[in-house]
C-alpha cells in the first residue's frame, strides 16, 4: 500500500464555513462561471475585492467626503478597469531599435 501523497506545505489552508443551501448553490454557480468550478478561487477573488473596497472606504473617509453612491462607485470601478485595459494593450508595433 502506498502512502498518501502529502500536500505542498503552505499551498492552501482548509477552513470550515457554514452556509445556507441557497448561498452554497450561488457560490458553486459563480465558481463554475468564473473559475471552472473552483470555489476557492472564487472566494480568493471575493476577498481581494472586499479588501480593495475597504481600502477605498478608508481613503474616502480620510479625505472627508461622503461615501459615494453605488452608481458613482460603479463608474469609478469602470474607469479604473478601462484604464488598466489600455495600460495592458499591446499594439503589435515593433520598436525602432
Q: How does pLDDT run across 60-79, given as a tens digit for each residue?
A: 888 877 778 899 999 999 99
Does a structural domain hold residue 18? no
Q: Is the pLDDT of residue 10 over 70?
A: no
Q: Are 35 and 42 in contact (CB under 8 A)?
A: yes
Q: What is the mean pLDDT of the chain?
A: 84
Does a structural domain hold residue 16? no
pLDDT tens digits, one per residue of 16-59: 999 999 999 999 999 999 999 999 999 999 999 999 999 988 88
Q: Is the pLDDT of residue 97 over 60?
A: no
* Segments forming the whole domain that contains residue 36: 25-88
Structurally, the chain folds into a number of domains equal to 1
Q: Are 31 and 38 in contact (CB under 8 A)?
A: yes
Q: Which three cell numbers stand for residue 91?
A: 499594439
Does a structural domain hold residue 39? yes
Tell me how long the chain is.
97
Does a structural domain hold residue 29? yes
Amino acid at each position: 500500500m502506498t502512502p498518501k501523497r502529502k500536500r505542498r506545505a503552505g499551498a492552501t489552508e482548509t477552513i470550515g464555513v457554514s452556509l445556507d443551501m441557497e448561498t452554497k448553490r450561488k457560490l458553486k454557480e459563480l465558481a463554475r462561471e468564473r473559475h471552472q468550478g473552483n470555489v476557492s478561487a472564487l472566494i480568493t477573488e471575493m476577498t481581494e475585492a472586499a479588501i480593495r473596497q475597504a481600502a477605498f472606504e478608508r481613503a474616502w473617509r480620510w479625505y472627508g467626503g461622503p461615501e459615494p453612491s453605488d452608481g458613482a462607485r460603479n463608474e469609478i470601478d469602470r474607469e479604473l478597469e478601462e484604464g488598466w485595459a489600455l495600460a495592458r494593450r499591446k499594439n503589435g508595433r515593433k520598436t525602432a531599435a
